[in-house]
Amino acid sequence: MLKRVRKAVQLGKIGCFSPEAMLATMVLEFGGALWVALRYRLNKVGWLTIGLLVFLGGMQMSEFILCGLGGGFPWYHIAYASITMLPPLGISLAMAIAGKKNLWAQIVMYVLCAAFVLYWLFAIHGVTGDKCEAPSSNWVVFQANTDAMWMYGTYYYVFLAIGTFVSLYWGYKADNHRTSWALYWLAIGYAVFILPTITVGLIDPATRSGIPSVMCGFAALLAVTLIFAVIRLAGTRRGETPAEVEARTKASNPAQAVHDDN
């Protein structure tokens, strides 16, 4: 099994697949953000969901321009900046769904996030180049500062792990099924986003220089969970009356609650 997966990686069958797949995924993510904005109230849950989808789409757009249109600077900077936003936004979304508040945690998250975003955007030796991996152009190999990458990797994976854990924990502690399942689905979205990426990196270390690009292929799965599960369970539809909100909140069957949102 591992040999087959390794061969698939080496042949370019794991990653963002092709410029066409990059474009389709970008449309899914930006289109999902627009759909959420039009269908749901722009409260904290709505804005954070849109933010996650927009930054997922920003990474995918950068990939498409780099590999599909032959673009270069500044798109590899935008790619790194986009994925840097995902961990704190995900934790903030979990907090909003669970009704949790922690100002200092938010400050720490976003100060670290802002530091890395500014570094990737403006540091001369932050991201110095990119190339589409031949022959299939299925991921972008980024040339990033190796001294900064271990700190960035720690930031990224630690916050993703925290986001997954708190989503599961708060989902378990939640008072109603809708909130529980919204948080569970968010944790699932995190898992399908990051676990395959780690697996690919362990199977073929050569892909690690293209981790942001390999990651974006699996990020489409996170986008799907946000659009078709999380926001449907945790969001408030436009025009919905308080009585309807209360009825949906008290729904005992989360699958039926999602169905009722159609």
DSSP annotation of 209? G
Query: Are 190 and 163 a contacting pair, CB within 8 Å?
Result: yes
Tokens 């720690």: give the residue: 154
pLDDT at res. 62: 83
The series of mean pLDDT values per 10 residues for the chain, 262 residues long, is: 44 54 88 97 96 93 78 76 92 97 95 94 71 50 69 88 95 93 95 72 54 62 94 90 66 54 61
CATH of the domain at 234: 1.20.1070
Could you tell me if 200 and 4 are in contact, meaning their C-beta atoms sit under 8 angstroms apart?
Answer: no
Burial of 147 (0-12, 13-18, 19+ CB in 10 A): exposed
Q: What span, in angstroms and rounded, lies between the C-alpha atoms of 139 and 159? A: 24
Among residues 101, 65, 8, 36, the alpha carbon closest in space to that of 235 is found at: 36
CA atoms 112, 115, 117, 120: torsion sign: negative
Residue 142 makes CB contacts below 8 A (sequence gap 6+) with 76, 79, 80, 127, 129, 130, 209, 210, 212, 213
Computed on alpha carbons and rounded to an integer, the radius of gyration of the chain in Å comes to 19
Two tokens, residue 83: 């994925």
pTM comes to 0.82
pLDDT, position 150: 82
Residue 242: which domain range? 2-260
| Amino acid at the residue 156 | Y
User: Please, are residues 202 and 221 in contact by the beta-carbon 8 Å criterion?
Assistant: no
Mode of pairing for the β-strands spanning 140-144 and 127-132: antiparallel
How many domains are there within the chain?
Answer: 1
State the Cα–Cα distance between residues 255 and 101, nearest whole angstrom: 28
67: its two tokens: 């590999």
The 3-state DSSP class for residue 238 equals coil
